[in-house]
Structure 1
Amino acid sequence: MTSETVPSAPTRGLTDEQVLAQRRLDGPNRLPEAQPRSLWRIAWGAFTQPMFLLLLATATVYALLGDLADAAALLLSVMAVGALSIYQEHRTERVLRALKDLSSPRCTVVRNGVAVRIGSKELVRGDRLVVDEGDRLAADARLVESSGLQVDESLLTGESVPVPKRAGGAEEAAQLHAGSLVVQGDGVAIVTATGARTALGRIGGSLQRLQPRPSRLQQELKRLVQAVAVLALLTCVIATAVYAVREGSWTAGLLVGLTLAMSLIPEEFAVVWTVMLALGAWRLAQRQVLTRQPQAIEALGTVTVLCVDKTGTLTHNRMTLVRLHDGECERAPGESDGSARLLQAAALASLPNGIEPMDKAIFAALGRDGAVPGGWVAGPRQGVRDGRPYVSHWGRDGDGRARVLVKGAPEVVIGRCADEARRREALLAEAERWSAQGLRVLAVAEGACDPVPADGGLPPNTALRAQGLLGFMDPLREEVPAAVEQCRQAGVRVIMITGDSAVTAWAIAERAGLLPAEGGPVLTGAQLAALTDLQLQQALREVRVFARVDPAQKLRIVQALQQLGEVVAMTGDGVNDAPALRAADIGVAMGQRGTDVAREAAALVLLDDNFASLVQAVRGGRRIFINLRKALGYLFAVHVPIVGVSLMPVVLGGPVLLLPLHVVLLELIIDPACSLVFEAEPEPDDCMRVPPRPAQSRLFSVADAARALAVGGTALVGVALLQWLLRSMEASTDMLRLASLGGIVAGNLLMLMWFRGLRPDHDHTNPAFNALLVGIALVWLILLAVPGAGPLFGLPAEVPAAWLLVPAALGAWGLLRRPLGTHWLRRPRWR
């Protein structure tokens, strides 16, 4: 098989063996893209950060002074801190690449005779591709079947007017291009080119994606870093000058200034932001929620209203045909010839290889005996449109007569039928009764009209005759009532918006626990259309269920809720849902049944279409914001004792207590503590029992900063008291340094516990925290017990044996995974 030859694809599609062979030949279906950051590029970025440049400058000063041992030790420390930064960045890169793979578009292909949903990167030449309204095409293809198909090729041509496509026409009319958007109709096509061989791939480098705008919190964090950096620079310059003038040594003053700069520089802020949001997005993906926009994570904790669809979100979307009514009596599927005729009519109005659950249920009930009538030639087809909740499929029978099969909402379809009034009323009454029992009900009708409309629509003069009703059972997801109750406790309202009838919607809402004990009103799309904006806002204070709502009305509901001051998350799956998804504070697209257009407009994608996953995403968003604020509070507090000890010789005189090597050791504690430990921190037990935080709440307010500085000041007072005690005992400079370093480390651990908020009755184990304890214990053991290690860091060569109990206790604490209770500390409320 040559690379120019497209393998044949019969109606059963390619086999698994053919797919593997073609993928080995062409590679994955991916467009040319920028190479991911290599390990070398990550390393270069890490070693050009201000912290490492300061360390190199300090090592150079030591080398110029002839202190080669300290210079070598600093260089080794540079490598250690750099390795930690590289590890964290590399891990973040891997997480982002994995999330990118998850977010790749999906498509439907026929393989081994079965329609399957796959990632677009798995497409190969020769695949039989099912094309449906709302799909973003991921490969070039040639149409072999089509029904009213129109595509938007503006990404390639710049022309915004949809282009009609049809099988069997001119070459260009039958050709579909990667990057095009299907705006109407459906069809089947054979993939002719993938990846770089597509028309979109050949354009290559001319397609540059715009960088996403920084989010509000990201901008706030940037301003915070800039303010701290300016303050650090001024402090370092003043401290260098004061110490140099007093001691008469500009070299010593420079070392003090460099040490102070390393203790003040806010380089961990960026680490916290990047690591916590990347890993937070990955955790959400583990809960079947894909984050497409970072601001979605910020907004999740502020959501006050969840607007959700019924089918597939609150229910399983596993339709089973359980009842039929042919206009005379109710029947079970397969019970009589009457049910077979009704099923055959419903099948002609459906897609045999489609992924729509009710279509699948119809063909499953029809079985092998439900063949298409002899001589039937399928014609144009039109799907559901705004104001037209039905599908129409035209064709010609064996006698050449034009016929149309219609399937959709009973009140609309039967309302267009010319049957006698008694029969129509009986069918509508039966549909109402089934809906009250929670069934999804469709009506089927048949008519005739010549000529056949080219767009597959239903002309007003078309004479229809009702064929009967189909009743489908779609059970409620078992986890939904508990998830709805979680939302209620969290102060989040849940509103169901569905295209089903009011009776069906009310029945499902009652089972899901959406309605109060005394029940509640259901507002239909027709009633909604008659309301003014002010009346709709008033209704939204009470209504929890909307029925027979078309996608255009979703946008109006979102805007009305936002005018009431609500923060809205809206789910959607169709092309026409895109405006509402875009307008919502958080648009949520369906990952399994959603269109590519909906996913592109959304900030989140529910990979399993499950409402409970969305509630878990709200919980996860709250956790991420809480932990981010905890980490920033810890960062502010932890630098206070380090800066204070660095300034002691400047303000009070005496020996330099904190050397550059000590700052490096402390960085090895701070970096993993502020990112990995807080990122791994579970949400508080009451996370979903408190109201949403205000949408405009600051990430880190002046009050938060003052509280953090007070905690850090308390730790500094403890270190200062320890210094005073040892100086009164005339301890050596080495012992003073050991005490200052040990005091700062102990203060770090206490502050870490404070900001984590541990208490005896709420004692979470955190693997990252326990690993940090063991790591600190090993470092201290080396400094105190390994000959020559202490003097290398300006610490005593020998210490009393009792000092070894400190690292032993720390290591045991971490290994036993039992964090000590801190009942004497008041737990802060970082929300």
Structure 2
Amino acid sequence: MATAPVRGLSDAEAAARLRRDGPNVLPSLSHRGLLEISWRALTQPMFVLLMAAAALYALLGNARDAGMLLVSVLAVAGLSVYQEQRTERVLEALKVLSSPRSLVVRDGRVLRVASRELVRGDHLLVHEGDRLSADACILEASGLQVDESERTGESTPVTKIPGDPGEAGQLHAGSLVVRGEGAARVTQTGMATALGAIHRTLARLEPRSSRLQQELQRLVRRVALLAAITCVAASVAYAARDGSWAQGLLVGLTLAMALIPEEFAVVWSVMLALGSWRLAQAKVLTRQPQAIEALGTTSVLCVDKTGTLTRNRMALVALGDGHAQWRVSDSGMPPQGLHGLVSSALLASRMDGFEPMDEAIRAMARAAGVALGPGWQAGEHRGIRTGEPYVVHWWHAPGQARQVVAVKGAPEAVLALCAATPVLAEDLRALASRWAEQGMRVLAVARGTGSGPGHEAALPADVQLSALGLLGFADPLRDEVPAAIAQCRRAGVRVVMITGDSPLTAAAIARQAGLAECGEVKAVTGRELARMDAAALRRCVGDVSVFARVDPDQKLRIVRALQARGEVVAMTGDGVNDAPALRAADIGVAMGQRGTDVAREASSLVLLDDNFASLVEAVRAGRRIFANLRRALGYLFAVHVPIVGVALVPVVFGGPALLLPLQVVLLELLIDPACSLVFESEPPARDSMEVPPRPRREALFSLAAVGQAVGLGALVLVGAGLVQWLGHHSGATEAALRTASLGSIVVGNLALLVWFRRQGAHRAAANTAFDVLLVAVCLVWSALTSVPAVAAVFELATVPWPWSAWILLPTGWAIWRLWRHRGRATKRVIR
């Protein structure tokens, strides 16, 4: 069969067009620029209160404090803007990673490129399950049907015809290929596509907040209302007793600033975004943030065999026709008597496909010198269907009126189609069993003639097929899989293999991977599953770890049966038909390399390298992120207790205000980095993968956890109160009392930070962000208490020598830890 090779664009021409037209992307509707981020930061309740306090100081004639508060507004706003921009950069980077992939021909090579790199003129190859990312005109098509409902609203798939001058000859961005395949030339990209016009309309609509954002907004609004009521009540109480409405309003504003939990939104957004980025570095793309929380509860991982547990690098290592056999371990190439089997296997494969076994067959044919003669023309083909685990390829042979049909697939299914003698059929079945027990993937090949294909290339009744033999393929286990499965077992996570391969092959791989602790593997087939009712299936999935010859509908049944037993299920999938099961699983995991766009859209995670070990690392990361979120929220609840308590002291007991708005700003500059940077950088506990998954219904932060956090904050408040009591009895000045209250809160905050970092861990691990924060706090405190001009600005007292020297101890300790960490990192680089 001779066809003119397609060259496509050259790499240089594609790069030039990409520079000229820009990337094939639509502008992000959710992206926020610097001005919008800054405006949102400056209109937060905390900053409104800061501005109100600054205005009050100005009205009282205290220009210095008013100016310092304005500077503080800019400092806190700058920190918020930095964190928001960092989050935006991470999200934009994740969008680039999650960009769909497209198959193009460039310089005569078939490449899979990010769809954002498509340019006008590209030769695009489309297959079932692809989500189109550009407009194109169809050059070739084989049974191509496209769902254009995203653009037109029409749910019925549209048949595409090459060369048609109308819509039938065009493909549009946003459409989904539901059947068939073809080739097309890209005509428009980006905003020039038909989808771009819809995007311009969407850009004028205000996007809705996510469920999590709405919950956080409700929480902030409720606490802000509480803060407003407290502000008014405290102001009135203080003013009524001391007769100073201005001082009363300052006390009320300080209380309101101490109560507003604006850090909640910062913690959630920064930690989830950076957590997703860390997962992406481990080759796991997070498409839905809530999947991160669910990862920590996963109790069952349902995984495919090919490409996930194995390398997906099939090699044809054995041939057999019932009379002669050849193994790759034998010297030389297959004997002449087996060339007919190789030739028929070539007919039963795609000449330009990327399916691993088709590639292995083509490689073997080239090495053995087997090729189709001139004049062979490919006809229709039929892929694997539910209940039909084989492929059918029709050919027009030169000089023959009848068409040649070649079939390749599961031995039991292909042999059932053939008119083989009982002895030959039994010999081939026995050979297939022996090879499967050795871990091979075994396919049977048959060949025949017919008047022509039936509906959708099906085999008509007049076809007589002859069994030609068996093909044995080897797909070795990934080296890291046994250790990863052992790690899952220690973590209380079951691994269940679900594959379309034969039971014997699946069992052999399961034994190599360590899925069976005692070495015995029981594989249940799809045929056996079909005979089970719901109750029997629930019992079955509790004991069985290997399911073979399973179709996509049965995958969905397995997932639901596991969930009915109370399991939290993560399931991998790659095809269009896997989408329902991926959607039904608690965590759907799509394959990044061999998965279809539909599978990715139905999933919450994407394995960029199709590697099971990456999925195990994602579970570890999910547990780390959940634990750190819980610690951060506990710290947030606890840290506000002493601040609010000290601010309430003058309202309840009288006397001067012990916390001023400017001092609350300093505390906020400590709290924000502590939550969003220190806890996000916290490594996982050493035993994070040696404990069972947390219960599915366990809340992120329970009422008991709130009580514990408030109790710890109350202990810090008691310490601050004790310091105040000692100060009063020793005759301390008002400035000294403020210094003592602020210092006790700072020390209490650091103690809370250490306690929550150690929570759930045997000991606090090294954390560079914490050490840097500690050094910064010590330096700022030294300036506040040692430099009279700085102390006067914040209305604090200077601390005489040698009492101020204590600050050297934590500073030296933190610097020593940073130096030691740097030395260890340098040694790792040298090694």
Q: Offset of 1:210 from its aligned partner?
A: 10
Q: Name the counterpart of 1:54.
A: 49
Q: How far apart, in 1, do the equivalents of 2:172 and 2:45 lie?
A: 48
Q: Offset of 1:533 from its aligned partner?
A: 0.8
Q: Offset of 1:569 from its aligned partner?
A: 0.9
TM-score computed with the length of structure 2 as normaliser: 0.94
Q: How far apart, in 2, do the equivalents of 1:758 and 1:531 lie?
A: 47
8 Å contact kept, 2:145–2:159: yes
Q: Secondary structure at the match of 2:500?
A: coil
Match status 1:397 vs 2:397: yes
8 Å contact kept, 1:220–1:699: no
Q: Secondary structure at the match of 1:546?
A: strand
8 Å contact kept, 1:146–1:188: yes
Q: Offset of 1:768 from its aligned partner?
A: 1.0
Deviations 1:458-515 (A, max 9, x none): 2344221122222111111111111111211221111110000000011111111111
Q: Name the counterpart of 1:105.
A: 100
Q: Name the counterpart of 1:194.
A: 189
Deviates more, 1:406-415 or 1:780-789: 780-789
Q: Offset of 1:807 from its aligned partner?
A: 3.3
> For the structure 1 residues 22 and 704, does the alpha-carbon distance in structure 2 shift closer, same or farther, using more than 3 Å as the test?
same
Q: How far apart, in 2, do the equivalents of 1:212 and 1:427 lie?
A: 61
Q: How far apart, in 2, do the equivalents of 1:319 and 1:772 lie?
A: 52
Opposite residue 359 of structure 2, the aligned amino acid is: K
Q: Offset of 1:202 from its aligned partner?
A: 3.6
Q: Name the counterpart of 2:470.
A: 469
Q: Name the counterpart of 1:596.
A: 597
Q: How far apart, in 2, do the equivalents of 1:713 and 1:76 lie?
A: 31
8 Å contact kept, 2:30–2:207: no
Q: Name the counterpart of 1:358.
A: 357
Deviations 1:108-167 (A, max 9, x none): 222233222211111122222221111111122233333222222222222222222344
Q: Secondary structure at the match of 1:403?
A: strand
Q: Secondary structure at the match of 1:134?
A: coil
Opposite residue 550 of structure 2, the aligned amino acid is: V
Q: Name the counterpart of 2:829.
A: none
Q: Offset of 1:221 from its aligned partner?
A: 5.0
Q: Offset of 1:53 from its aligned partner?
A: 0.6
Q: Name the counterpart of 2:806.
A: 806
> For the structure 1 residues 404 and 99, does the alpha-carbon distance in structure 2 shift closer, same or farther, using more than 3 Å as the test?
same
8 Å contact kept, 2:723–2:740: yes
CA-atom RMSD in angstroms: 2.2
Q: How far apart, in 2, do the equivalents of 1:731 and 1:502 lie?
A: 82
Q: Name the counterpart of 2:572.
A: 571
Q: Name the counterpart of 1:76.
A: 71
> For the structure 1 residues 124 and 561, does the alpha-carbon distance in structure 2 shift closer, same or farther, using more than 3 Å as the test?
same
Opposite residue 273 of structure 1, the aligned amino acid is: W
Q: Secondary structure at the match of 1:478?
A: coil
Deviates more, 1:54-63 or 1:344-353: 344-353
Q: How far apart, in 1, do the equivalents of 2:326 and 2:568 lie?
A: 47
Q: How far apart, in 2, do the equivalents of 1:361 and 1:269 lie?
A: 54
Q: How far apart, in 2, do the equivalents of 1:811 and 1:289 lie?
A: 38
Q: How far apart, in 2, do the equivalents of 1:423 and 1:312 lie?
A: 33
Opposite residue 625 of structure 1, the aligned amino acid is: F
Match status 1:205 vs 2:206: no
Q: Offset of 1:663 from its aligned partner?
A: 0.3
Q: Secondary structure at the match of 2:451?
A: coil
> For the structure 1 residues 218 and 432, does the alpha-carbon distance in structure 2 shift closer, same or farther, using more than 3 Å as the test?
farther
Deviations 1:332-352 (A, max 9, x none): 463233444333322232233
Deviations 1:297-330 (A, max 9, x none): 1211111111111011111111111111234211
What are the within-5 Å matches in structure 2 for residues 326-475 of structure 1?
Answer: 326-332=321-327, 334-367=333-366, 369-400=369-400, 401-453=402-454, 455-475=456-476
Q: Name the counterpart of 2:287.
A: 292
Q: Offset of 1:222 from its aligned partner?
A: 5.3
Opposite residue 73 of structure 2, the aligned amino acid is: V
Deviations 1:189-209 (A, max 9, x none): 222222223232244334579
Aligned length: 810
Q: Offset of 1:618 from its aligned partner?
A: 1.1
Opposite residue 286 of structure 1, the aligned amino acid is: Q
Q: Offset of 1:14 from its aligned partner?
A: 2.4
Q: Offset of 1:387 from its aligned partner?
A: 1.2
Q: How far apart, in 1, do the equivalents of 2:632 and 2:796 lie?
A: 30
Q: Name the counterpart of 2:826.
A: none
Deviations 1:720-768 (A, max 9, x none): 1111112111111111111111111000000000001179963411111
Match status 1:89 vs 2:90: no
> For the structure 1 residues 818 and 195, does the alpha-carbon distance in structure 2 shift closer, same or farther, using more than 3 Å as the test?
closer
> For the structure 1 residues 278 and 32, does the alpha-carbon distance in structure 2 shift closer, same or farther, using more than 3 Å as the test?
closer
> For the structure 1 residues 54 and 169, does the alpha-carbon distance in structure 2 shift closer, same or farther, using more than 3 Å as the test?
closer
Q: Offset of 1:240 from its aligned partner?
A: 1.1
Q: Offset of 1:582 from its aligned partner?
A: 0.7
Q: Secondary structure at the match of 1:455?
A: helix
Q: Offset of 1:252 from its aligned partner?
A: 0.7
Deviations 1:433-482 (A, max 9, x none): 11111111112221221133362222344221122222111111111111
* Structure 2: 5+ residue stretches without partners: 821-831
Opposite residue 265 of structure 2, the aligned amino acid is: A
> For the structure 1 residues 341 and 191, does the alpha-carbon distance in structure 2 shift closer, same or farther, using more than 3 Å as the test?
farther
Q: How far apart, in 2, do the equivalents of 1:669 and 1:475 lie?
A: 53
Q: Name the counterpart of 2:720.
A: 719
Match status 1:616 vs 2:617: yes
Opposite residue 375 of structure 1, the aligned amino acid is: G
Q: Secondary structure at the match of 2:168?
A: coil
Q: How far apart, in 1, do the equivalents of 2:433 and 2:587 lie?
A: 35
Match status 1:156 vs 2:151: yes
> For the structure 1 residues 587 and 386, does the alpha-carbon distance in structure 2 shift closer, same or farther, using more than 3 Å as the test?
same
Q: How far apart, in 2, do the equivalents of 1:653 and 1:547 lie?
A: 77
Q: Name the counterpart of 1:6.
A: none
Opposite residue 700 of structure 2, the aligned amino acid is: L
Deviates more, 1:643-652 or 1:399-408: 399-408
Q: Offset of 1:230 from its aligned partner?
A: 3.7
8 Å contact kept, 2:686–2:761: no
8 Å contact kept, 2:54–2:69: yes
Opposite residue 83 of structure 1, the aligned amino acid is: G
Opposite residue 600 of structure 1, the aligned amino acid is: E
Q: Secondary structure at the match of 2:693?
A: coil
TM-score computed with the length of structure 1 as normaliser: 0.94
8 Å contact kept, 1:148–1:454: no
Match status 1:185 vs 2:180: yes
Q: How far apart, in 2, do the equivalents of 1:159 and 1:445 lie?
A: 41
Q: Offset of 1:385 from its aligned partner?
A: 1.4
8 Å contact kept, 2:656–2:734: yes
8 Å contact kept, 1:434–1:471: yes
Q: How far apart, in 2, do the equivalents of 1:169 and 1:57 lie?
A: 68
8 Å contact kept, 1:661–1:793: yes
> For the structure 1 residues 143 and 327, does the alpha-carbon distance in structure 2 shift closer, same or farther, using more than 3 Å as the test?
farther
Q: How far apart, in 2, do the equivalents of 1:106 and 1:760 lie?
A: 41
8 Å contact kept, 2:510–2:521: no
8 Å contact kept, 2:11–2:107: yes
Opposite residue 518 of structure 2, the aligned amino acid is: A
Q: Secondary structure at the match of 2:557?
A: helix
Q: Secondary structure at the match of 1:307?
A: strand
> For the structure 1 residues 33 and 761, does the alpha-carbon distance in structure 2 shift closer, same or farther, using more than 3 Å as the test?
closer
8 Å contact kept, 1:185–1:382: no
Q: Name the counterpart of 2:744.
A: 743
Match status 1:241 vs 2:236: yes
Q: Name the counterpart of 2:61.
A: 66
Deviations 1:210-255 (A, max 9, x none): 968845x666655554553343333222211111101101111000
Q: Secondary structure at the match of 1:418?
A: coil
Deviates more, 1:452-461 or 1:402-411: 452-461
> For the structure 1 residues 225 and 688, does the alpha-carbon distance in structure 2 shift closer, same or farther, using more than 3 Å as the test?
farther
Deviates more, 1:537-546 or 1:455-464: 455-464
Opposite residue 99 of structure 1, the aligned amino acid is: L
Deviates more, 1:801-810 or 1:531-540: 801-810
What are the within-5 Å matches in structure 2 for residues 671-820 of structure 1?
Answer: 671-757=672-758, 762-796=763-797, 798-817=798-817
8 Å contact kept, 2:105–2:111: yes
8 Å contact kept, 2:768–2:818: no
Q: Name the counterpart of 1:607.
A: 608
Q: How far apart, in 2, do the equivalents of 1:95 and 1:153 lie?
A: 32
Deviates more, 1:204-213 or 1:559-568: 204-213
Q: Name the counterpart of 2:650.
A: 649
8 Å contact kept, 1:232–1:265: yes
Q: Secondary structure at the match of 2:313?
A: coil
